[in-house]
Amino acid sequence: MIDTKMTVAFVLIGLAGVAAGLFGLRLPPGDRIAAGLALVVGAGVGVVALAIGTNIASSDAPSTAETVFLVASALGFLATMGSLYLLWRRTERGGTPQGQG
């Protein structure tokens, strides 16, 4: 049976994917890939947090590893949501910032 920490961690990962997918449906067909990039940002933050957390963790106990995974998942979720927020702000303004593209 999966521990509560692991369940919450997997739920956060799934929710980030659902949020990116639903947001991508809102975008015009040519811009939908940008929602996927928010997932790349979240995954990158999660992997970095997992690498740093496992290096810092002083115990090899399973509960420590589960806590590190939960924290990494939460940081990845927050990074995905932050990226989607920035993308939303950009699309609400009607395109790319001035001086670009």
96 vs 48, more confident: 48
Residue given tokens 């920035």 in the structure block:
86
pTM listed for this prediction? 0.85
Give me the chain's average pLDDT, please.
Answer: 89
pLDDT of residue 13: 96
The pLDDT tens digits for 58-98 are: 777 888 889 999 999 999 999 999 999 999 998 888 765 55
